[in-house]
């Protein structure tokens, strides 16, 4: 089963001033980087338990030392001019490598769990697509059994219509899909204050 399932994790290289820029406006670049590292650690923990091959795609370079640099994960570099192109190239490379069920996530969701990721792969046993809706109108997860370029290319990102437009594209392609539980990404100070992570902050 593992050789049919690929879990792609998109991670920005953790550098102050380059991550969580909207959050940094309120908490500062250093604190925003600390929050991002906590999110990455959480992502590494929950993804390590999933029955799938795991591949981390870094945004700028493949680091020689990183919390994902264990035998649990393999590594690639993101390609493309925007988020959609980068997701498209990553998923396409997975299908070209022979995987049948591919799930892609980011590192922004503190509510993500191993159980939800297992649900995503189970959904791909029944349907050709699965989407994890985010509370901001985007998605925290997308999974496919076949590549649908329109889901990724020539689209506008980081707006409240992303999820709605993605579902419309799936319907236009007559692609059976399932929706997972709605979860929250942490992109802004308001997101942080509403999250379980806020309670843990000193």
Give the model's pLDDT for residue 202. 55
Give a yes or no: residue 200 inside a domain. no
Give the model's pLDDT for residue 55. 97
- The pTM assigned to this predicted structure is 0.94
Tally the domains of the chain: 1
Give the model's pLDDT for residue 199. 63
Give the model's pLDDT for residue 158. 85
Domain hosting 157: range is 2-195
Give a yes or no: residue 201 inside a domain. no
Give the model's pLDDT for residue 164. 97
Give the model's pLDDT for residue 201. 57
Give a yes or no: residue 11 inside a domain. yes
Report which DSSP code applies to 80.
Answer: S
Please, what are the averages of pLDDT over each run of 10 residues along the chain (202 residues)?
88 93 92 94 95 96 92 94 97 97 97 97 98 96 98 93 97 97 92 80 56
Average pLDDT, the chain: 94
Give a yes or no: residue 25 inside a domain. yes
Give a yes or no: residue 52 inside a domain. yes
pLDDT tens profile 7-32: 999 999 999 999 999 999 999 999 99
- The Cα–Cα gap between 63 and 165 comes to 35
* Residue 88 CA, distance from chain mean position: 13
Give a yes or no: residue 54 inside a domain. yes
Give the model's pLDDT for residue 26. 92
Give a yes or no: residue 68 inside a domain. yes
Q: How many Cβ atoms sit within 10 Å of the Cβ of residue 87?
A: 22
The CATH number of residue 176's host domain is 3.90.550.10
- The Cα–Cα gap between 5 and 155 comes to 27
Give a yes or no: residue 100 inside a domain. yes
- The Cα–Cα gap between 30 and 51 comes to 34
Say if residues 53 and 122 touch (Cβ distance below 8 Å).
Answer: no
């Amino acid at each position: 089963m593992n050789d049919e399932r690929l879990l792609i994790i998109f991670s920005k290289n953790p550098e102050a001033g380059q991550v969580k820029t909207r959050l940094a406006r309120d908490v500062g670049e250093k604190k925003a980087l600390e929050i991002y590292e906590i999110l990455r650690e959480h992502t590494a923990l929950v993804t390590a338990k999933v029955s799938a091959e795991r591949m981390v795609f870094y945004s700028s370079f493949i680091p020689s030392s990183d919390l994902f640099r264990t035998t649990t994960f393999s590594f690639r570099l993101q390609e493309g001019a925007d988020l959609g192109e980068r997701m498209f190239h990553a998923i396409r490379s997975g299908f070209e490598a022979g995987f049948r069920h591919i799930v892609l996530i980011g590192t922004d969701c503190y509510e993500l769990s191993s159980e939800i990721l297992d649900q995503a792969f189970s959904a791909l046993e029944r349907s050709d697509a699965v989407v994890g809706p985010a509370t901001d109108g985007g998605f925290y997860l997308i999974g496919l059994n076949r590549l649908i370029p329109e889901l990724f290319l020539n689209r506008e990102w980081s707006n409240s219509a992303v999820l709605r437009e993605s579902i419309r594209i799936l319907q236009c392609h007559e692609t059976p899909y399932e929706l997972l539980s709605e979860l929250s990404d942490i992109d802004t100070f308001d997101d942080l204050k509403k999250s379980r992570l806020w309670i843990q902050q000193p």
